Amino acid sequence: MTRRRISILGSTGSIGRNALEVVRRNADLFSVAVLASHSNVTLLREQIATYHPELVAVYDEKAAAALRDSVPGCAVLSGPAGLIEAAATPVDTALCAVVGAVGLEPLLAAIDAGNRVAVANKEPLVMAGDYIMERARLNNVAVLPVDSEHNAIFQCLQGNALSDVDRIYLTASGGPFYKSTPEALRNITPEQAMRHPTWDMGAKISVDSATLMNKGLEIIEALCLFRLRSEQIEVVIHPQSVIHSMVAFTDGSIIAQLGVTDMKAPIAFALTYPERLPAPEMRLDVTALAGLTFDKPDCEAFPCLALARAAADAGGCAPAVLNGANEEAVTAFCAGRIRFLDIAAVVEHALEQCAVSTVCTLDGALAADSVARACATSIIKTMEQ
């Protein structure tokens, strides 16, 4: 395997740390050229000392200033422009693993620079997926999914024609509140929502998993990555999280991808595709797999899933509204300003109130994002009273 030069945007987060662990275990195969984070310079300083990047970007200006004088030999950029410049630094693969819509412009910058992109940061794909995929096509850049479900689907599709796909089964653990009634969901705390039963992840995606919005975002992500129709994507609750997703073909065959619940596996696959990294520690003991179960999602108790499906079906910039409103609602929930069930109410309100373009352009997505955030912010204020 040839040595790969990589950048990691969001290196201090859950995905970023897992990616650096893959690098550490395979030090002869990777060189880390770029790291980027928002403000966690304590961890970033340690990462710089271990992986010796030539450049880092710290979004927060003050945090960047605090780091600048203490890392000789490493350029420290800052602010939105610094993150974009970091993304555009030439590498073999840019791992996009910041959280939220803020990753959209860096992702496009990486693509325009001709960097192959491994995408964990799903929010930009939700906001403007078709636009991003077209820009990747024009730049002849591969977009490799890191999200475990999409990585699984990507693997199941190898050697198969998309025209032979009947449907995709997107598996979901069900989150920490699987089988809970709406009454029980009323008093969920942020701490409870962040405790995912099978995956260890950052705060925002953990809350999204608890509301099932994460699965809704993944429907939209799958639509653009694999060019499918909405009715071809089915969500299946699979609490054991052993099957990461399945593809059903027109001849009735179903191909599934199984593995341990460890994001290092899809990250490594995306970084080394089409080759595979030996990882004996990732071996799944299939003889220990007793009772894999499957269930239908409860869209009444978890309305975010239906809201996401509706936004996907509306198309255009509706998914950008869904995403922007959800980001605001999750932030407010984590800050204790609104309740768990208010998250769906905020998103529903934004989808009803925001008139947006029916065509997905970059400007349209950015405008929809900002209209949705303003709308969400104002309804959140009324909920706090």
Using CB under 6 A as the criterion, which residues of the chain lie in contact with ligand NAP when the complex forms?
Answer: 10-16, 36-40, 59, 83, 97-99, 102, 120-123, 147, 199, 201-205, 263
Q: φ and ψ at 202, to 5 degrees? A: -70, 170
Asked if 72 and 97 touch (Cβ cutoff 8 Å), the reply is no
- Output the smallest distance, CB 126 to ligand NAP, in A: 9
Is residue 231 within 8 Å of residue 113, measured between CB atoms? no
Minimum CB–partner distance for residue 170 and ligand NAP (Å): 13
Select 204 or 238, whichever has its Cβ closest to ligand NAP.
204
The minimum distance between CB 40 and ligand NAP, in angstroms, equals 3
- Closest distance between ligand NAP and the C-beta of residue 283, in Å? 20
**Residue corresponding to tokens 């796909």:** 165
> What residues have CB less than 8 Å from 321, skipping those under 6 apart?
311, 350, 351, 354, 356, 368, 369, 371, 372
CB 119 within 8 A of CB 125: yes
| Least distance to ligand NAP, CB of residue 208, Å | 7
C-beta of 11 vs 241, nearer to ligand NAP: 11
Which residue number, 79 or 315, has a Cβ lying nearer to ligand NAP? 79
Which C-beta is closer to ligand NAP: that of 76 or that of 205? 205
At position 6, the amino acid (one-letter code) is I
Q: Smaller CB distance to ligand NAP: residue 87 or 379?
A: 87
Smallest distance from ligand NAP to CB 358, Å: 26
Residue nearest to ligand NAP (CB): 13
Per the CB < 8 A criterion, the answer to whether 36 and 20 are in contact is no
Distance CA 338, CA 334 (A): 8
Nearer to ligand NAP, 147 or 328 (CB): 147
Q: Which is nearer to ligand NAP, 7 or 11 (CB)?
A: 11
**What is the smallest separation between the CB atom of 357 and ligand NAP, expressed in angstroms?**
24
What is the nearest approach in angstroms of ligand NAP to the Cβ of residue 41? 8
Nearer to ligand NAP among residue 18 and residue 272 (C-beta): 18
Burial class (CB in 10 A: 0-12, 13-18, 19+), 91: buried
Q: In terms of Cα–Cα distance, which of 292, 342, 352 is closest to 322?
A: 352
Smallest CA-to-CA distance from 212 within 241, 178, 244, 242 is with 178
